[in-house]
Amino acid sequence: MKTALITGASSGIGLELAKIHASRGGNLVIVARNKVKLDELKVQLEKEFGINVVVIEKDLAIPNAAHEVFEETESLGIQIDYLINNAGFGLYGKFEHSDWVQESNMIQVNITALTQFSKLYLPGMIARKSGKIMNVASTAAFVPGPTMAVYCATKPYVLSFSEALNNEVSSHGITVTALCPGATASGFSKTAQADKSALFSKTKLASSYDVAKFGYTAMLKGKQVAIHGFMNQLLAFMVRFIPRSLVVKVSRKVIDK
């Protein structure tokens, strides 16, 4: 029975990942800020699937929060077999007008916490010669994003880090998967204040469940990069051959409200 730690598990893709893992008989450690939703999910999954769920209420925007989560799982003697770094958020608006505190928190959650979690749980996986890490990136990893400049800049980091780490640890029997969803009906756009952008208002959104199932399957197979949806896969391929100046202009039109 494998235990998965999932960050950002109270809603969207993280919530669906938790349900999928539980449905396969796996135990869970679910992490998010909203303890009420986490407690509700714990009751639901334990009742429906007979598994154990540990709830950890934590704001990953706070420096060293990942280490606090790690210490808690260590104190409980919980072995983490699958680490799923799903937590992340975006922010819409021109950089000159956007709020630095929110952007700093975004970098902390999208990059720093994700990296620290990997740093903390990887040694145990290496010692056991077994384990899987999935980092949720985005199709934004392949294109710059004017009016969401900082968010879109965090995602190439996640992709590059995941690919490099996968290469480093594959000899230990461990895989690292970068999941790259496109626009998804997950609540992300509302939180990012981007729900009126063309990307979310004029595009058929993938469901959180479909993205989660795709990503979970890719993780189990040890796939290095998993891009959800044919059009998103095509986009990631085509931007290699298009001038960057044009890519940025098109990206702006898609993201603009």
114 near 125, Cβ under 8 Å?
no
Provide the domain limits for residue 156: 3-255
Q: What are the residue numbers of the active site?
A: 151
Residue 10 has pLDDT above 60, yes or no: yes
- Residue 88 is predicted with a pLDDT of 96
**Percentage of the chain lying above the pLDDT 70 cut:** 93
Domain count, the chain: 1
What integer is the mean pLDDT of 199-218? 85
Alpha-carbon torsion angle 253, 191, 87, 152, nearest 10: 20
pLDDT in tens, 31-88: 999 999 999 999 999 999 999 999 999 999 999 999 999 999 999 999 999 999 999 9
When pLDDT is cut at 50, 70 and 90, the band that residue 191 belongs to is low
When pLDDT is cut at 50, 70 and 90, the band that residue 250 belongs to is confident
Higher pLDDT, 17 or 231: 17
CATH of the domain at 93: 3.40.50.720
What integer is the mean pLDDT of 9-15? 97
- Residue 183 is predicted with a pLDDT of 86
